[in-house]
């Protein structure tokens, strides 16, 4: 079956097509994509393997068409975020990625030059945050590595947020980070992914400095955030309503992560941007208005000091 917003037959595979068939509301939500209220997208990428198939101008056009107020972009290599900024102006809020070359995710934590580049970029006002930084339980780098510690101290000194992705079975590794840097604004990436609402509640309660972002690429990736009607599951809804100032949202249009054996293929994640955004708009629209406005836009504006700096 062909879903608007998905590549037609002959395009790259979508390994979750069977799940889409079970989500009829999504078809109506995706086609055609009505813009909706202004939306802060706190998590997008413009990586080298995306640039192979989409340019900065086209990404900016898609963000504008979707009425994105501003988007936080993090790139591998880091400098690509600045290329997108040049194309999008105030629409783009670049974060410094420690992955400064194409394979930087593999060795950034061994390279002190990453810290020097981060400091120069923050000092010159080119970047408005640090991240995305990934930690996978059982793999290097470890949370305690000194390059990461220096990056976090830099973010704190420049009063900018750090976007951190931790893959783990519970909230403990993330809490170790947020308790180690209590003055630092930290964004927890991908709520709705591996951790449950109870795990995330404990992060919120332990660390007042953490903002939670939803970019789990659901319903295609995890399926733990919303029900078949596209609305938040009760445990997530209760949490968002209990802490409405602590949540923001992002699309994270990176698609290779959901497949196997794609090292030789470009990432066509931006082809899925409109449908990911429609998914988030659906559950956000179901929240009481004051909560909805915070999660959709206001919390992100506060996090990124948009009143003082441009967003």
Question: Which residues contact Zn ion (rule: CB under 5 A)?
Answer: 132, 165, 189, 252
- Please state the closest distance from residue 257 (CB atom) to Zn ion, in A: 8
The Cα–Cα gap between 176 and 202 comes to 12
Residue closer to Zn ion by CB (options 215, 287) is 215
- Minimum CB separation of residue 238 from Zn ion in Å reads 25
Tell me the backbone φ, ψ of residue 164, rounded to 5 degrees. Answer: -125, 130
Nearer to Zn ion, 215 or 299 (CB): 215
Q: How far is the CB of 2 from Zn ion (least distance, A)?
A: 27
Pick between residue 163 and residue 287 the one whose CB is nearest to Zn ion: 163
Question: Least CB distance from residue 28 to Zn ion, whole Å?
Answer: 28
Residue with smallest beta-carbon separation from Zn ion: 165
**Distance of closest approach, residue 27 Cβ to Zn ion, in angstroms:** 26
Do residues 60 and 91 touch, judged by C-beta distance below 8 A?
A: yes
- CA angle 279-214-182, nearest 5°? 165
Give the residue with the Cβ less far from Zn ion, 160 or 252: 252
Output 33 or 73, the one with its CB closest to Zn ion: 73
């Amino acid at each position: 079956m062909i879903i608007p917003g998905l590549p037609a037959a002959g395009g790259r595979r979508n390994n979750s097509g069977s799940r889409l068939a079970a989500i009829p509301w999504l078809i109506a939500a995706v086609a055609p994509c009505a813009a909706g209220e202004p939306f802060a997208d706190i998590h997008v990428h413009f990586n080298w393997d995306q640039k192979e198939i989409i340019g900065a101008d086209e990404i900016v056009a898609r963000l504008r068409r979707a009425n994105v107020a501003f988007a936080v972009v993090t790139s591998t290599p880091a400098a690509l975020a600045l290329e997108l900024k040049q194309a999008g102006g105030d629409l783009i809020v670049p974060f410094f990625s420690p992955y400064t070359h194409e394979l930087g995710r593999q060795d950034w934590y061994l390279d002190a030059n990453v810290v020097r580049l981060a400091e120069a970029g923050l000092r010159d006002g080119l970047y408005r945050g640090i991240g995305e930084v990934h930690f996978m339980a059982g793999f290097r780098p470890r949370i305690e590595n000194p390059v990461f510690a220096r990056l976090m101290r830099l973010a704190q000194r420049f009063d900018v947020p750090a976007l951190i992705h931790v893959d783990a079975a519970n909230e403990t590794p993330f809490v170790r980070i947020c308790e180690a840097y209590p003055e630092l604004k930290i964004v927890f990436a991908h709520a709705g992914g591996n951790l449950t609402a109870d795990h995330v509640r404990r992060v919120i309660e332990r660390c007042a400095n953490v903002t939670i972002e939803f970019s789990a690429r659901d319903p295609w990736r995890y399926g733990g955030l919303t029900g078949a009607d596209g609305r938040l599951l009760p445990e997530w809804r209760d949490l968002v309503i209990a802490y409405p100032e602590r949540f923001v949202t992002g699309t994270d249009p990176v698609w290779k992560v959901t497949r196997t054996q794609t090292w030789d293929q470009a990432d066509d994640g931006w082809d899925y941007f409109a449908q990911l955004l429609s998914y988030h708009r659906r559950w956000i629209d179901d929240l009481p208005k004051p909560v909805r406005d915070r999660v959709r836009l206001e919390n992100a504006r506060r996090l990124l000091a948009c009143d003082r700096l441009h967003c």
